[in-house]
Amino acid sequence: MMEIAKARSLSEQELAEELESARRHLYDLRFQLATRQLTDYSQISQTRKDIARLLTVRTERKLDGGAASASTAAAGGE
């Protein structure tokens, strides 16, 4: 389980790698579910939540970056 604070401390590259890894893990879990090899079904929902946390951090960074450049442009334009 990835905590939101840990996700926020990752660099952009690490965030992308974690997201890719979590998506691959979810794929593997779904494959195990389809082949009746999965015993701990809670892993699926936990992995989905981890992906959501990582995507939330990525979105926050994009919005903060956009807000910072918009405020800089507004300050320079006045």
- Could you tell me the domains of the chain? 11-73 (1.10.287.310)
Averaged pLDDT, 23-36: 97
Place of tokens 């082949």: 35
pTM: 0.81
Distance CA 15, CA 63 (A): 16
pLDDT reading at 34 higher than 70 = yes
Name the pLDDT band for 39 (thresholds 50, 70, 90): very high
Please give the helix or strand (H or E) that residue 8 lies within, else none. helix 4-9
